[in-house]
A and B are shown apart, each in its own frame.
Chain A
């Protein structure tokens, strides 16, 4: 394991939109900044989860653009500062010794005064018989990535959130029929997306219903519901897309003593993005902030950068 000869003021773990925005701000404040991330288990490249969103309409300055376009713009902005280095490397371990953190990837080890966790989340997996067996054989998690493979097919989408609704709308661009299957009384997307769902004749919502099992041969062929739908518990589908929420990627933070809530999210001070561990900050979907959007995460990322800057300058932590 080679020890990098460069010491950093801040290492940002996670290279999604939030991590990149934090990098931009840290570098702007004059901090030697390193971003490490292959997004840490969310299994997405630099840019993170926003790259799987088709259309973003709630980011100021851009009325409408794709998630990939937005991620690219944030990445370019971060890279415009020479003090920000971005490496697509997964962090495998972090250790704290006195005022210093040692951050390890598979090939290198780095030293830093502060850490910002922007590790985000990964998709929550559907756990029913057949869901693992048919993963990527009809059970899919990224509607934007794989939806076009189901042109003129019948697909189902599990979930009731705004993300689920947006996925259903993407799928309806290709499939001939989209069933939204939701365990609760009523799906709860943002109003604008609810209206789009209502207007889309390809989409049908099945509320108060769970999938009990996924069956097929080489690929998914049908799902078994826990309630009758039009007189039958069996529903013929070619795919089951899953949008049932996310799991916080906080294992690395936990390793160095950062406190998590019952959902595994990093508990931060909502004023300054600090955690219970000195010199450690967090922002974005991995934290316990309830409203999880790129716009809010980016703001917290900048706050975390400023707090890291204040921590270094006020405490005169100059080396370790």
Chain B
């Protein structure tokens, strides 16, 4: 009887860094999409709870601001900006791909069998999204730190 545990690679298939060198930027974009999604969800829940303090009056609101408007808070918020921009940009790329845009057209395959769907357009979009996210983080830091 086959070992059931070998029927799936498990979490190593998601988090093993060696995979990201072998499988290209699209796979890296996939895991980054997951990480940013979870990060943004966690931030969103915290943000809803934190802004709920407005109902407890000015004192509670200022206390909350004192906790969040710190250097660490600004750095964290800059990370959130970066995650948000990447998640949005890559999400748009994925939605366009899933609608059939930018993935090439079916054609008779020929050696060396380069996949059309993993083309330079898609790769450029991923790199551009990462670049724009970095720019947005830089801008956010500039605004928050005055």
**A, B co-complexed:** no
Chain B residues with a Cβ under 8 A of chain A: none
Chain A residues with a Cβ under 8 A of chain B: none
